[in-house]
Amino acid sequence: MANGQPAIQSLLTIDDVWEIYSRDIEEIESHIRRNLDSQAPCSNEIAAHILDGGGKRIRPLLVDLCARLTGYLPKEDLVLGSLIEFIHTATLLHDDVLDEAVLRRGQPTARHIWGNRASILVGDYLYSRAMQHIAAFENHDINATIATACRKMAEGEILQLCANRRPLMPESEYIRIVEYKTGALVAAACKVGGILGGTSPIQREELYQFGLSLGIAFQLADDHLDYTADNKTLGKTLGQDLMHGTVTLPLIHLLQRLTEKDRQRLIASIETEAVTEHDLLQITDHMHQHGSLHYTRDRSQEYIDAALLNLHSFDDSTAKRALTVVADYMVHRDQ
Q: What is the pLDDT of residue 234?
A: 53
- The CATH number covering residue 318 comes to 1.10.600.10
Q: Give whole-number Cα distances, 238 to 234, 241, 334, in Å.
A: 8, 8, 14
Tell me if 1 is assigned to some domain.
no
Tell me if 3 is assigned to some domain.
no
Q: What is the pLDDT of residue 278?
A: 84
**What parts of the chain have a pLDDT lower than 70?**
1-10, 165, 230-238, 334-335
> What H or E segment, with its residue span, contains residue 107?
strand 107-108
> What H or E segment, with its residue span, contains residue 104?
strand 103-104
Range of the domain at 239: 14-331
Q: What is the pLDDT of residue 3?
A: 42
Q: What is the pLDDT of residue 233?
A: 53
Classify residue 237 by burial, with Cβ atoms within 10 Å: 0-12, 13-18, 19+.
middle
Longest dimension (CA), the chain: 65
Number of domains in the chain: 1
Over the stretch 279-326, which tens digit does the pLDDT of each residue have? 888 899 999 999 999 999 999 999 999 999 999 999 999 999 999 999
Tell me if 311 is assigned to some domain.
yes
Tell me if 115 is assigned to some domain.
yes
Phi-psi region of 259 (alpha: psi -120 to 50; beta: other; left: phi over 0): beta
Tell me if 4 is assigned to some domain.
no
- Indicate the pTM of the whole model: 0.92
Q: Are 55 and 171 in contact (CB under 8 A)?
A: no
Tell me if 40 is assigned to some domain.
yes
Q: What is the pLDDT of residue 2?
A: 38
Tell me if 43 is assigned to some domain.
yes
Tell me if 9 is assigned to some domain.
no
